[in-house]
Structure 1
């Protein structure tokens, strides 16, 4: 049990960046064009092409493929795949096999915007058409509403029919976090336990069952210490493939910035650019290096993000991470054999004396360990002053407003009776 929950200080280091990645999804800002911006020039080089007709034809093919997934019809799913490319056919068969292991309440593919791919035109001829395709889906028991991601397909006209000739030619133009999904690589196993869904490599199904049990215990830990309703539905992806969901496992500039897991936020809307819609939910993605030694306290932290992100994404990072650490620490101390006292001592003696402000993005980037500790201590102070429900009310109020300095200060004052500077000073003095 010591190595199950005893990794208190090291755990904070391992969690650096987890929540930041958990509540704000990184998106590509270096495309140089808005979605669809390359289409006009491309169409000009294709006289006689009716974009509306082509879109209807491709959407019809994609609709047949989505229906085929739901019904388990492999023949229809592969009907438009180039039979001259055995590797492509094999990848598409594997995709179908993996998709069938999930329970889709709804699934729809549709053409979005063209992406220029000159190498594909050179390879397949003048009718070649590369496009982002949107996958809009809802997983039964997991997603309260549909979510949306993008993928890249290249089609060619042959004998009056559109044929899929490439499924990876324009990956660099797609959303970084969105388009790499668990079903896109090797064959998987999907393990379900109540409302927890765990995705692992097929050969690691036994590991999936172990993670499912740890995950279910973590769900209960979150429910005990986060007062807002949460149904406990969560997907944990613990595969050996590091490209899943474009997870970057090391980031930042300081020591201790190895990410053990992150909660990736899901939206129903355009995956590229700034998000203008409310988040739908999250998936937890585990670092392949730690998937076989996954600890409950790490999952409690991440599941707190899953439980809180539907409220909104405007809450400042100090409270987002502070709440996750607060829930994690109290879940650890549910077991009378464990204590977070070593963590408390470190925060009091090492992290609080240097605190000048409640940590923001810059502070987390400069020193993750210190910022997580300070954020946790601020949340402990707020819970002692406002109670858990009061902390949740503050979190919600901040999440639902555009936080100019004036609005932020006003909300802090309304809930605590203090200015942000006074709150910081009170946190530094708090003995716990």
Structure 2
């Protein structure tokens, strides 16, 4: 994520990865049965009542049929959306649904008109996500687990999966989608994309796409013009071991921003954030990666500042598959800032004013910033990222860029392993103990800000 500053050059950024909850893929239909074991000697064996066996079988068959029918309904709905058949899409909705829901669904369908979709479908599981009896309705309702599976053409190599809090109702033997908000009172929410908040304007580049709303078209054009060069710059440092494509989202409101990056995420003082829906540490891949720019944040930046922020966030996109949550932020953020500023003519003395003030007033810090330093208010936050950038810059100057890359890969893979493991990686990669690295970095700061 990148912090906002009302100046020509953005000082530094943070990247926060918001992970979605674990999603169930391809869950098998529930199979219920009763079974009687052999009777113990001298015991009277109790026969399973025929009515119980019959009831269980009927319930299982009903669940299977319901899941099949709802799945067929959502297949028709997805096909209608992909083929731009509005009438067929609206036919999936409950005829007696709240008019506001039908209006919102129609608007969502139209907002998606220009969004290039490589895939859009739904997965349905038989187990419910909520007890619909709690809704106090006399109608026949169902709330099976439903996941949206989608991929943006030109950006996603693999589809991503998002949870949908859908409530269905049966009328005259047919199932319909009744609501995507009623389950919220039971703790089940529906994921919202940019298309749920307004018309989408799409700009394409060779290396990805930018999805905006009409009010942010000017910024979307600026980002589109920078995207290919930014992807190439990240690849030049990190190498080709990443998708080499990206999707940028430009939400219009704080509400939309929180929907895209997480409800608990604070947008105060932030310009951009890199997010992923899901990370598989086993095969080192991430799905649903996006760079999301806060409303109004990017508009305040100079072209140079915007370039730095975009490259910083794309560095997080490129490295996410090889980064385990909990790895030290001084390296994760410092590396991203190094990539962001690499190749620019912006001196650290100008781009890191908080660090410059600290070194000149009090001297260099005794240690690298801790993870806790990345959770302060705006000024300490800026200082934490500027310190991290200076650490990576020093490592490149003293040991070379390949060593910084090697150190990143070693340490990022450790996750929350703790300082001893990180210190061992420093010694193995750089050939010096942590204390010597810190001492050299402190001397570097004195030289830079003298």
Identify the TM-score tier after normalising by the shorter chain: 0.7 to 0.9
| Structure 2 CA distance for partners of 1:389 and 1:268, relative to 1, 3 Å | closer
1:378 corresponding residue in structure 2: 391
Decide which of 319, 339, 343 is 1:327's aligned counterpart: 339
| Structure 2 CA distance for partners of 1:82 and 1:313, relative to 1, 3 Å | same
Q: Is the 8 A contact 2:403 2:430 kept in 1?
A: no
State the structure with more CA Rg.
Answer: 2
| Structure 2 CA distance for partners of 1:375 and 1:213, relative to 1, 3 Å | same
| Cα-to-partner distance string for 1:251-308 (whole Å, 9 max, x where unaligned) | 68xxx96111111113278xxxx99984235201111122434522222221221222
Decide which of 106, 126, 138 is 2:151's aligned counterpart: 138
Q: Is the 8 A contact 1:227 1:388 kept in 2?
A: no
Deviation at 1:108, TM superposition (A): 2.4
Take 2:343 and 2:63, find their aligned partners in 1: how far apart are those partners? 56
Q: Is the 8 A contact 1:250 1:259 kept in 2?
A: no
Q: How many residues of Structure 1 are paired with residues of Structure 2 in the alignment?
A: 394
Deviation at 1:220, TM superposition (A): 4.3
Aligned: 1:25 with 2:37 = no
| Structure 2 CA distance for partners of 1:56 and 1:101, relative to 1, 3 Å | same
2:437 corresponding residue in structure 1: 423
- The 3-state SS of whatever aligns with 2:251 is coil
| Cα-to-partner distance string for 1:198-239 (whole Å, 9 max, x where unaligned) | 111145545432331143443344345545555541111113
Take 1:87 and 1:312, find their aligned partners in 2: how far apart are those partners? 43
2:289 corresponding residue in structure 1: 282
Take 2:221 and 2:411, find their aligned partners in 1: how far apart are those partners? 38
1:350 corresponding residue in structure 2: 358
Take 2:342 and 2:112, find their aligned partners in 1: how far apart are those partners? 37
Decide which of 364, 375, 383 is 1:365's aligned counterpart: 375
| Structure 2 CA distance for partners of 1:186 and 1:61, relative to 1, 3 Å | same
- The 3-state SS of whatever aligns with 2:299 is helix
2:407 corresponding residue in structure 1: 394
Take 2:6 and 2:233, find their aligned partners in 1: how far apart are those partners? 13
| Structure 2 CA distance for partners of 1:411 and 1:281, relative to 1, 3 Å | farther
| Structure 2 CA distance for partners of 1:174 and 1:392, relative to 1, 3 Å | farther
Aligned: 1:339 with 2:347 = yes
Take 1:182 and 1:93, find their aligned partners in 2: how far apart are those partners? 15
Take 1:382 and 1:213, find their aligned partners in 2: how far apart are those partners? 31
| Structure 2 CA distance for partners of 1:375 and 1:202, relative to 1, 3 Å | same
Decide which of 300, 315, 324 is 1:304's aligned counterpart: 315
Backbone CA RMSD of aligned residues: 3.6
Which stretches in structure 1 are left out of the alignment for 5+ residues?
30-35, 40-46
Take 1:131 and 1:346, find their aligned partners in 2: how far apart are those partners? 52
Take 1:368 and 1:204, find their aligned partners in 2: how far apart are those partners? 27
Take 1:387 and 1:104, find their aligned partners in 2: how far apart are those partners? 42
Take 2:337 and 2:368, find their aligned partners in 1: how far apart are those partners? 15
| Structure 2 CA distance for partners of 1:393 and 1:144, relative to 1, 3 Å | farther
TM-score normalised by L of structure 2: 0.75
Give the alignment of 1:74-93 within 5 angstroms.
74-85=86-97, 86-93=99-106
Take 1:262 and 1:344, find their aligned partners in 2: how far apart are those partners? 20
Deviation at 1:160, TM superposition (A): 0.9
Take 1:347 and 1:327, find their aligned partners in 2: how far apart are those partners? 19
2:73 corresponding residue in structure 1: 61
1:196 corresponding residue in structure 2: 208
| Structure 2 CA distance for partners of 1:284 and 1:192, relative to 1, 3 Å | same
Take 2:218 and 2:351, find their aligned partners in 1: how far apart are those partners? 33
Give the alignment of 1:155-304 within 5 angstroms.
155-171=168-184, 173=187, 179-202=191-214, 204-227=216-239, 229-230=241-242, 232-244=244-256, 245-247=259-261, 258-267=269-278, 278-280=285-287, 282-294=289-301, 295-304=306-315
TM-score normalised by L of structure 1: 0.78
Deviation at 1:182, TM superposition (A): 1.3
| Cα-to-partner distance string for 1:316-364 (whole Å, 9 max, x where unaligned) | 211110011112222432xxxx434323575255168463432232121
Take 2:181 and 2:248, find their aligned partners in 1: how far apart are those partners? 25
